[in-house]
Amino acid sequence: MKWLLRGFLAVLGLLVAGVAWWLFAQHHAALPPARTTAAKLQDPQLIARGAYLAAIGDCAACHTAQGGQPYAGGRALPTPFGDVPAPNLTPDDATGLGQWSFDAFWRALHEGVGRDGHALYPAFPYTSYTRVSRQDAFALFAYLRSLPPVRSETGAPSLRFPYDLRASLATWRTLYFRPGEFVPDPKQSAEWNRGAYLVQGLGHCNECHVARDNLGGLPKGETLTGGQIPAQNWYAPDLSTRAHGGLEGWRADDIVALLKTGQSAKGAAFGPMADVVTQSTQHMRDDDLRAIATYLQSLPPRPARAGGGSEVDATALISRGGKLYAQQCASCHGQDGQGVAGVYPPLAGNASVTEPTGINAIRVVLLGGFAPSTAAHLRPYSMPPFAQQLSDADVAAVVSYIRHAWSNDASPVMERDVANYRHTPVE
């Protein structure tokens, strides 16, 4: 039996050594405080370029509390593992980036490590930002340094056990993160490469537009195939414009229009994407928007999805939904589901109506809301919320109807689905 015990101890020893080595490998040094602000950082052109890049990255969306000072942090990003507050990015010495050197900033963006040497939670999407060029990072840093410093302490993340352990984060990073860089594809056009750089890097589109696994990891080798946004319960659709893609049939002009104005001939932005359009994409230059469209149009076709045929006989549900639609919806969206160009979005062929889960249609029917406010639509039209007027069964009926009518062919939704999402928090 002695050999057994010895063998066991040897294995245990190896394990301990492995873990120790691995933890050591994860260790990063704390970086010294910035000495002086380099004169280079004060170049107004550089700062302006950084402001533009910060808009593309939509940094302010997370790094600004509701009603708070821009970039002063404090907004908690909800995740299935707990809330992670976004830190203060203004150059305040005590609570912001005041003591940060550019090297520290670059390491945070590129490697997801804070100035103190601790790994950062991937609620900060360094999984995408790692592809941002050092040059762009420098402009971003110059812009953030130019902001008025705001003293604002950010709370600690409130993660549940075991996600609050440093070792959990180290494991996550080992599984899902490698620092990388954007490598242009010489076979593609400069426009395509610019689009790929923006979408995969600062735009961090894939952070929402792909299904994460149970540990919140992004699947390897799968990009922009659509997924439910954890904790927020909206569905970010697949972005392929080719066969069976979520944006099947979208032209480059449609993509540019949606990102620039919040509306397109194929549908309108709402929920989290409305915020993205209002705060970020509407401020992008036309050449950058076109580059994004070019890149998205190159995404491959997707495998055919199972159609709307479901085991449940939804005939009665859909029939009732059709009557409700005629009474409540057709006056704006049209009996043919075509909507009104520039005013009310079409529902026929609308990616958000036919996305796999039905969540988006359910929540839009319940919440209503304004189309995004953009320079193109300063006084947007709106949809009434139906939460007070329609029961769960009614919403299920009308959503099942619009998912099946016209050219749409998506599965029906059930009353219990509506009940689940009726009270989803909106932040």
Residue 407 engages another protein in binding (rule: CB under 8 A): no
Determine the interface stretch with another protein among 135-143, 152-160, 239-247, 312-320 (rule: CB under 8 A). Answer: 312-320
The answer on whether 27 is annotated among ligand-binding residues is: no
Q: How far is the CB of 343 from another protein (least distance, A)?
A: 5
CA–CA gap between residue 250 and residue 324 (Å, rounded): 29
Q: For residue 111, what are the CA distances in angstroms to 130, 135, 179, 348?
A: 6, 16, 5, 43
Which one of 135, 174, 189, 319 is in contact with another protein (CB under 8 A)?
319
State yes or no: 204 annotated in a binding site: no
- Residue nearer to another protein on the CB measure, 121 or 344: 344
Contact call for residue 300 and another protein (CB under 8 A): no
> Binding site annotation covers 110?
no
Which residues are paired to 370 by β-bridges? 382
Residue closer to another protein, measured from CB, 126 or 344? 344
Q: With respect to another protein, which residue has the nearer C-beta, 101 or 374?
A: 374
Say whether residue 234 binds another protein (CB under 8 A): no
Among 330, 376, 393, 419, interactor with another protein by CB under 8 A: 330
SS3 293: helix
Alpha helices in 71-165 (DSSP H): 102-111, 126-129, 134-146
CA distance 26 to 43: 36
The helix/strand/coil state of 303 is coil
Contacts with another protein in 331-390 (CB under 8 A)?
331-332, 334-344, 367-370, 372-373, 378-389
Tokens of 336: 């043919």
Round to whole Å and give the CA distance between 316 and 313: 8
DSSP for 26-48, written as a single string: T--PPPPPP-S--GGGG-HHHHH
Q: In the complex with another protein, which residue's Cβ is closer, 43 or 83?
A: 83
167/22 Cα distance (integer angstroms): 10
CB closer to another protein, 89 vs 324: 324
- The annotation status of 283 as a binding-site residue, yes or no, is no
Q: Is 423 annotated as a binding residue?
A: no
Structure tokens at 28: 């990063």
Give the binding range for another protein (CB under 8 A) out of 97-105, 120-128, 160-168, 303-311: 303-311
- Please count the other Cβ atoms lying within 10 Å of the Cβ belonging to residue 294: 21
Write out the DSSP string of 308-358: S--SS--HHHHHHHHHHHHHHTHHHH-TTS--BTTTB---TT-HHHHSSS-
The answer to whether 408 contacts another protein (rule: CB under 8 A) is no
67 scored as a contact of another protein (CB under 8 A): yes
Q: Under rule CB under 8 A, how many of the chain's residues touch another protein?
A: 54
Binding piece for another protein, criterion CB under 8 A, among 48-56, 78-86, 118-126, 315-323 = 315-323
* Minimum distance, C-beta of residue 143 to another protein, in the bound complex (Å): 23
275 binds another protein per the rule CB under 8 A: yes
Cβ atoms 245, 226 nearer than 8 A:
no
**The pair of three-digit structure tokens given for residue 318, joined into one six-digit string:** 């859909």
Question: Binding site annotation covers 209?
Answer: yes
Asked if residue 312 binds another protein (CB under 8 A), the reply is no
The pair of structure tokens assigned to 164 is 């609050």
For tokens 């085991």, the residue is 311
Cα–Cα–Cα angle for 128, 131, 135, nearest 5°?
130
* Site membership for another protein, residue 83 (CB under 8 A): no
Sequence ranges of the binding site: 59, 62-63, 205, 208-209, 329, 332-333
Sequence ranges of the binding site for heme c: 59, 62-63, 205, 208-209, 329, 332-333
| Residues of the shown chain interacting with another protein in the complex, contacts defined by CB under 8 A | 66-67, 274-275, 278, 307-309, 313, 315, 318-319, 322-323, 326, 330-332, 334-344, 367-370, 372-373, 378-389, 401, 404-405, 409, 425-427
